[in-house]
Amino acid sequence: MKILVALKQVPARDSQIRISADGRWLDESDLSYEINEPDAYALEAALQLREQHGGEVVVLCAGPERATSSIREALAKGADRAIHIEEDDLGAFDTLSLARLLAAAAKTEAPDLILTGLQSDDLGGGQTGVVMAELAGAPHATIIMAVEVNGAELRVKRELENGLFQYVSMPLPAVLTIQSGINKLRYATLMGIKKAKTKEVRRSTAAELGVAPEPSVVLQRVSQPQRVKQTQMLAGTPAEQAAQLVEKLRFEVRAL
């Protein structure tokens, strides 16, 4: 069973974020980068499926030269090999263009299963995996909590709202977007780090794949969220105030 995992490198969550001078993206001069966390869960799901059913796990990543560090990390965790689409300006690709790029690279591998994270930590569109499935003409399912492979068929568990779940069966090949937190992420071992240095990383470009950035959506400007302090006074008896507080924590703050 060949499983392809689409992986993205994003700014580290603890990075100090500043907007670039032109206001169209982040100032990348002093950012550190890491594997997109939802994609890390997709990788973990792929590794566990390989352990159960055999086969290989291939990592697919589009990005500049710095993305090599995240690719090597994925290889150190257990992926068998990788494809690096070297592209310095991913900002020129909108979701559709990027999905075309990834789908073109995936087509050369003819995988049985394509896994992506539910969304990226930087843009958070949550559409790349779905569009890849449409371009490939493959069945797909989103917000996946569990995957079972039975021969040429999948049975997946999807997370819905209000604590509900949906079970869906579909044929292979298929595309799934994996929900974060479904498994415990593994660490790269010292032996895994050593082996990663000898694993194959096939390099390609958008031009070689015949895909040009033709965005239908252009990002014009980004801005940091406004921080606003607000005080609300709760009226009524202590019991009524407690009930109001619980309601606000549950539905407005979403902390419960």
pLDDT digits (tens, 9 = 90+) for 170-207: 999 999 999 999 999 999 999 999 999 999 999 999 99
Q: What does the pLDDT look like over 91-104, one tens digit per residue?
A: 788 899 999 999 99
Strand order in the sheet with 2-7: 165-171, 153-159, 140-150, 174-178, 113-117, 2-7, 56-63, 81-86, 201-204
Average pLDDT of the chain, as a whole number:
91
| Section 107-124 average pLDDT | 93
For the cut 90, the answer to whether the pLDDT of residue 19 exceeds it is no
- What is the rounded CA–CA span in Å between residue 92 and residue 115? 24
Q: What does the pLDDT look like over 20-41, one tens digit per residue?
A: 888 888 887 878 899 999 999 9
Residues 6+ apart with CB under 8 A from 74: 5, 7, 35, 43, 59, 61, 82
Predicted local confidence at residue 4, as pLDDT: 97
For the cut 90, the answer to whether the pLDDT of residue 208 exceeds it is yes
- Residue by residue, DSSP assigns 187-211 as PPPHHHHHHHTTS-EEEE-TTTTT-
For the cut 80, the answer to whether the pLDDT of residue 87 exceeds it is yes
Predicted local confidence at residue 232, as pLDDT: 85
Per DSSP (E only), the strands in the chain are 2-7, 9-11, 33-35, 56-63, 81-86, 113-117, 140-150, 153-159, 165-171, 174-178, 201-204
